[in-house]
Amino acid sequence: MEHVILVRYGEIALKGLNRNYFIELLAKNIRNTLRCVPSAKVKRIQGRIIVDIEEADLELGLERIQKVFGIVSVSPAFVIDSDIDVIEENAIEQVRSAQGVKTFKITAKRGDKTFPIKSPDLNCRLGEVILDAVEGVSVDIHNPDLNLWVEVRQKTYMYHEFIPCNGGMPVGCSGKGALLLSGGIDSPVAGYLMAKRGVEVIGVYFHSFPFTSDRAKQKVIDLAKIMSQYCGKIKLYVVPFTEIQTKIVEKCPDRQTTIIIRRYMMRIAEMIAEKEGAKALITGESLGQVASQTMEGLGATNAVANLPVFRPLIGFDKADIVAIAERIGTFETSILPYEDCCTIFVPKHPETRPKIPEMLRSEEAIAEMMVDMMATAVENSEIIKL
């Protein structure tokens, strides 16, 4: 018996003349995520993507494929010939071998219009032969113990399980975005949500050694690895930030250092974005969550960016963000007690209503030296491919 994973996609089916591009990209992303499953072979049929897979690899294949954006649901299925006798024989066997089944329902779909029996008639015919052949079962169309799906295409696919997936768009169809990735809870979730809308994520992590330890750096690498299960391959830039951060703290007013540090992070992230061909910056900021995330604070950091800045968490509260982090598996890593560069040198009374002209005046003391320092930081960044 040939085992497959039946893949259903959602909104990309509505893409008109571009539909083929989106489906091909989704198939490519599925192939990439199943690289560790040698028996998996991905192919397209009308309205579906099919993954041929050996039974021994089925569980691993299902685990990995469920995380691919663009898929709304999957079903482990088996393939038989589109011959009515073969279909009847296998439908009887499926109900007979199912444990504890007292009621059943047949949901037949005739995708191949050359097949001589229409869907409603096939429903009735299969129900009748099962009732005749299997003792002790009855039909329940509302709440059956077993709903047996029969999709008749060039081949026939039979299954009884729907596994919901993340939906969204295939990663890569919406271009690239540079994600300011810290070791906290928020930024991995922000990257996940943008990847769900088809954005290929490039990570930018600011490392202030020795103020931030190698354990903090490894924590961010581990978070990027978890994200890559959903986002596909991730290129992570580890930017040496100690000299820049120290100079800001030395030369700029204490109340303004958090915002000014953030402004220089945005400038550097934009330099990396332009180097990588990314068309947007992504942050994990949520309005009002911390002192720098007031409207004025966000405006002050936005002012230095020429690229669009996407903040998918802007209206989320912390409980919303934590719930997603727990679901995608980043939460336990995010709460490990290793500091990041945003948590050191925090002023006692940070500015919450910064004015851009004042920021510019404060930055005059460092602006000239920062041009070379930023270029050096980008040039000396460690690039980790995950």
Annotated binding site, which residues? 180-181, 205-206, 262, 284, 293
The residue whose two tokens read 């769900």 is 196
* Whether the Cβ atoms of residue 148 and residue 93 lie closer than 8 Å to each other: no
**Buried b or exposed e, range 72-81, using 16+ CB within 10 angstroms:** bbbbbbebbe
Strands 235-240 and 138-139: unpaired
Helices within the chain (DSSP H only): 19-33, 58-65, 84-97, 119-133, 186-196, 214-231, 242-251, 257-276, 295-302, 318-328, 331-334, 356-363, 367-379
Q: Are strands 235-240 and 382-385 parallel, antiparallel or unpaired?
A: antiparallel
Residue whose structure tokens are 């890569």: 172
**Beta strand pairing call for 2-9 and 48-52:** antiparallel
Residues whose CB is less than 8 angstroms from the CB of residue 337 and which lie 6 or more positions away in sequence, other chains included: none
Spatial neighbors of 124 by CB under 8 A, at least 6 apart, are none
CA distance 69 to 30: 9
Contact indicator for 57, 94 with CB cutoff of 8 Å: no
CA gap 111, 291 in Å, rounded: 57
Residue numbers belonging to the annotated binding site for ATP: 180-181, 205-206, 262, 284, 293
Quick one: which of 78, 142, 70, 69 has its CA closest to 104? 142
Structure tokens at 273: 């974005």
Closest CA to 336 of 200, 183, 230, 208: 183
3-state DSSP assignment of residue 50: strand
Give the span between the Cα atoms of 310 and 278, in whole angstroms.
12
Is 110 within 8 Å of 118 (Cβ atoms)?
Answer: yes
Contacts of 328 (CB under 8 A, 6+ apart): 188, 189, 192, 226, 227, 230
